[in-house]
Structure 1
Amino acid sequence: MTSNTDDLDVRVVGGGVIGLTSAIALAEDGHRVRVLSRDTAAGTTSAVAGGLCWPYRIQPYERAVAWSVRSFQVLTDLARRPEETGARMVTGTMTATTGGGGGAAADAGDGVEDGLAAWYAAVPGLRRASAEELPEGCASGWRARTPLVDMPAHLRYLERRLTAAGGVVERVEVASLEEAGASADVVVNCSGLGARELVPDPGVHPVQGQLVVVENPGIEEWYVSAASGATDTTYLLPQPYGLVVGGTARENSWSTEPDPAVAEAIVARAARRFPELARAWVLAHKVGLRPARPAVRLTVERLSGGVPCVHNYGHGGGGVTVAWGCADEVLRMVREVQEGRESAHR
């Protein structure tokens, strides 16, 4: 959709999945967009993400579910071209924790207990898993066909799409949001964990995630068992480059170095559910720092120099899942800024 009003000069700070999708929404609307990022897309936390489209460790749930539903729609469409976009539709199981417990898929018939009822209602074909479809030791779960994204490939697609829309990516470290807005009409802050210092916002903190990539022994479906506040989780995500086995969710841990003992425990947990993994060849170890916050910040404020700044950060473990929904809100907010400028000039 192209705006009928004069376009704006926009600086998007951050080149991960949140920054790139926001930039694409704005560039495809006709704005002049430059993404400012210290790291290449491949060097961002987004590149380490498992890539499953499902709300995880993100608040507020009501808004996050709405954003997730929008992203589900976009990624489902992109999954028609998996080699180009990195998105595929894959069937899998989201389990409840043994003995109930309100995990990622709580043991509630309508999904109300874990705040995701609207998500369950929106996913086509989502249903209760039968006992035969659950690994031994799992009490209950959901079966669904959802987007699973090969993030390195997807980030390359997003950069190509942004370039095709006239956007530009610059490798530069931004010292302040005011600096980013010095020659812009609007700043969009998608700096993730960097917002802790850049805003500054002390509520932003890392949730460390470690995973292991192994040679896939023939597992074709995804599997997740992750209680909402658990430090250790179990998930398997079949990607073209190998089977992603996870994982951890460690609050306020800043280390990006893989811990061999943690890696061994990750594989051991998964092998208890899927014994063939005990002999799988390890291809890689990865660690990412999820940019967490008590709730996503998606608001507009004026910087000290007067330039409007749309904040879009604090997505925790749900960045891939909510990116396109949040990008729509960023576009709406920038349009409101634009309309305000035009009204002032009349």
Structure 2
Amino acid sequence: MTTNETIVVVGGGVSGLTTGVVLLEAGLPVRLVAEEIPGRTSLAAGAMWGPYLVEPWAKVREWSLASLDVFRQLAEEGGAGVRMVSGVEAARHPVETPPWSELLPDFRQADSSELPDGFVSGHRFTVPLVDMPVYLDHLLHRFRDLGGEVEQRAVHSLDEFVDASAAVNCAGMGAAELAADDTLRPIRGQHVVVENPGITEFFSEDTGLSPDLVCFYPHGNRVVLGGTAIDGDGDLSDDAAAAKGILERCAAIEPKLADGRVIEHRVGARPTRSEVRVEADSHRGRVPLIHNYGHGGAGVTLSWGCAREVAQFAASFR
């Protein structure tokens, strides 16, 4: 430990901002350092609560449940860009009930009348939908109101923060270099935002491991359409062909989307590894280091639970 009690959080996405807020609320001084605040990948998210394709399940379950409780409270309070929204996840083939269904009290099998043509199974449930630009702005204001410091710059090494009491690595894909983690890989995701033609419920297709996703999430006068999941691709430039495919796939499910005016395109790189990494690293440098990255496409879903575990590690360093 150093005489400086400030904890440095590296990363300005949803994981970094949430971790900063949780640490501040625990009474710990925090400085957030990142080149992008808020982070581009977090801004590009849809975003719907759902612990998809992340491990280990025992920890993912607890992290997801903790976040679900917070999002329900934020939805009730209003103003944070979070709403509880009902909808359907459907498949063109029989699917098993996902393990996270037990966390949702209204989760049920969808009636055939609730499924689009060509779909044979599905589930209906209510979950938080998060309007990411609004929500990230909420988190940043909350962080500053709690006394958090913000330093916007590139970070080249986790050893830069010799004057901190601890450093927390929430760098997303940046952790591949900062933590020398060659198991971390990007999964490119693209969304198209259009004017809302009157959609009030979400829809998501269970497409398995296909790179072509089908989903739409209503956020007031806008709808976020998705998407793509291109493994190993970290390119953040817009792809016109991918955007065209997204629009066509979503319009095939909901024809009202066919003529929606495009407002913007969003692209991010989901930081993915075989297991989410939330742990203290006692083998690196003189400053205690805590890792919190590798959330894949479930960064929002895991954010509050992972941040609370980080706070427990940080408290043990005091």
Task: Measure the CA separation in 2 of the matches of 1:8 and 1:120.
Answer: 41
Which residue in 1 is equivalent to 2:89? 94
Which residue in 2 is equivalent to 1:281? 261
Structure 1 unaligned segments of length 5 or more: list them: 1-5, 101-106, 339-346
TM-score (norm 2): 0.95
Structure 2 unaligned segments of length 5 or more: list them: none
Q: What stretches of structure 1 move > 6 A for 4+ residues in a row?
A: none
Identity of aligned residues (%): 40
Cα deviation digits, residues 306-337 of structure 1 (max 9, x gap): 21101000000000011001011111111222
Which residue in 2 is equivalent to 1:40? 37
Task: Measure the CA separation in 1 of the matches of 2:113 and 2:267.
Answer: 34
The alignment partner of 1:184 has SS state of coil
Which residue in 2 is equivalent to 1:333? 313
Does 1:324 pair with 2:289?
A: no
Alignment: residue pair count: 316
Give the 5 Å matches for 1:176-187. 176-180=157-161, 182-187=162-167
Which residue in 2 is equivalent to 1:160? 141
Which residue in 2 is equivalent to 1:30? 27
Give the 5 Å matches for 1:1-346. 8-41=5-38, 43-82=39-78, 84-95=79-90, 97-100=91-94, 107-108=95-96, 111=97, 116-117=98-99, 119-180=100-161, 182-240=162-220, 242-302=222-282, 304-338=284-318
TM-score (norm 1): 0.88
Q: 1:247 to 1:80 in 2, by over 3 A?
A: same
Task: Measure the CA separation in 2 of the matches of 1:173 and 1:324.
Answer: 25
- Worse-superposed segment, 151-160 or 254-263: 254-263
Which residue in 2 is equivalent to 1:104? none
- The Cα shift of 1:227 comes to 2.8
Indicate conservation of the 8 Å contact 1:222/1:237, yes or no: yes
- The Cα shift of 1:7 comes to 9.7
Task: Measure the CA separation in 1 of the matches of 2:221 and 2:312.
Answer: 37
Task: Measure the CA separation in 2 of the matches of 1:8 and 1:316.
Answer: 31
Indicate conservation of the 8 Å contact 1:211/1:285, yes or no: yes
- The Cα shift of 1:90 comes to 0.8
Q: One-letter code of the match for 1:139?
A: V
Q: 1:286 to 1:310 in 2, by over 3 A?
A: same
Q: 1:40 to 1:281 in 2, by over 3 A?
A: same
